[in-house]
Structure 1
Amino acid sequence: MKQVNVPKPKAKAELHVDMPGGINDILVSYDGKFITYNEKNLVNIVNTTNGEKQSIENLNTEDLLKSIWLPDRNLMLFLQKESNKINLYNYDVEKKSKQRIITITNYLSTYKDFNIKSSAITGVIYVKIDSMIYRTDINQTKVIEVPIRIKDSTDIFIIPTKDRVVYEDVKNSIYLTQPKEKLNIKSDSQTKILGVDDESIIYLGELKDGKVISIISSSPKKERLKLTKETEIKDIFVNNKGEVFVNDSSKNVITELLSLKETKYEGSFLSFYNNGVTSILNGKYYKIKFDK
């Protein structure tokens, strides 16, 4: 036998792609590899590892009602207005293929608020249009209107392992569907749903003047987490493990509230992704993993 030393391959230098000025609706994929943004009339997607840019065919920003990245793979879902219909599509960025899934409902110019939530485990997709919720299952052969009404600006969440939706009704109470169940969490403040982890634990932010001051959960084992200062909802991220990350843009630092571990970043905060934070520095895109 003879020992052979194999040199480790040199790590490729991280590419920081340019972020053009005048763009909006920037979205980051679950692993931070892809970003999408609207520029003029186009919906553009950039591979941040090699700078390759593509546009979704036959889609302009005027007809795009809502788009999301799936939480576990580089696939997009989006709602497109076509011939007075609202159609649900997916887009595979690796294959550069667009596929129509199903028609959700008729389009009305009065509609203002749209959202999409999907569960990779159950294969169910929920679409929110103003106060109405629509459901299509893994077979994607029909759409069912869910008989609940919620506030237009309220987000919805899916229990990952079950076909259940968590939502806030018009009276600011938190409910689950199938079967309908009210979430009984004691709080003297108005609350807002922040996320749901893989253990089906629901996380709520207690609000003061629209900002989060503390975080509570549906698990009796988890204590109330108080924030050091009032925080915007967009600056809080709950991952599938139940870790809660809070961004402080004034210090350029992300803090995980349970472990108190901090992750520093440079530039302007852009968004969270599953394992880290993204930012823009000198017009370029940066991706930083959470410190563990």
Structure 2
Amino acid sequence: MEKLLAEFQEATKAGMQGIAAALERFAAGAVDEIRNAKPRAIAANPADEKLQLDEALFDSAPLLAVPKHAAFEPLKEIGHRFLATAEGIFVEVRRPWLHVIQLLSKLPENAPRPPYGLIMPKIELTFGRLGVAIPIIQAFAEEARVAAPDEHAAWIVWNSEAQKLEYKPLKIMNASPGAISFERPELPPHQSLAIDLHSHGRGEAFFSATDDKDDAGEVKIAGVLGGLGADDKPSVSFRLCVLGLTIPLKVPVEAIFKAAEPA
């Protein structure tokens, strides 16, 4: 009986080892299958030990060809990717409040053309149009007038649960007529920065070199208000920031600063 029990245990052990080996081969095969199903167009030797680093970078911001015959499928997940077209290279960005496609680099007139399709640039706001935010920007303008001649700052965030824009005051650390610093708040998952506002006190509204540096790499609408003294002429400047690319936005100063009614 003991001999039979030992033979049974030995057979069971061998069977478990076989199952484990089969599972290991299955897992390795599944990884290869997934890798083959999602090829990465990287001009590198597949055996290069550093290729995995490039694959990770590629996956974080892939380059896709725009179809010439099939229907274009827009980016659905939050993130960004690059699009190769017969015209040049575009960037496509998705945020809870924004979908944007913009040309980054246009091919020279007589350059070779890849056999890809074309795509139209677009800026699509989930909340419809920037005018929806005007009442909130007006409220910020009043706060900025009180803070003048020092600069002031605040955010307008998109609440994806409530499907609306919301005003978010900021904790100001230091403010002067020429600079401002604030504590950047950590937003919950259902909120995302949509409009970044700051003022220039009594100075003119414009985007400084410091603003350019602060906005680089961000996806947001940036707005500056200026001329906030009692005897000043108000001014505004707005732009869409897309990972370093900036697109001017037309916002009439009269929409934010109501003209004084005659006596």
Shorter-chain TM-score range: under 0.3
TM-score (norm 2): 0.24
Higher strand content, 1 or 2: 1
Higher helix content, 1 or 2: 2
TM-score (norm 1): 0.22
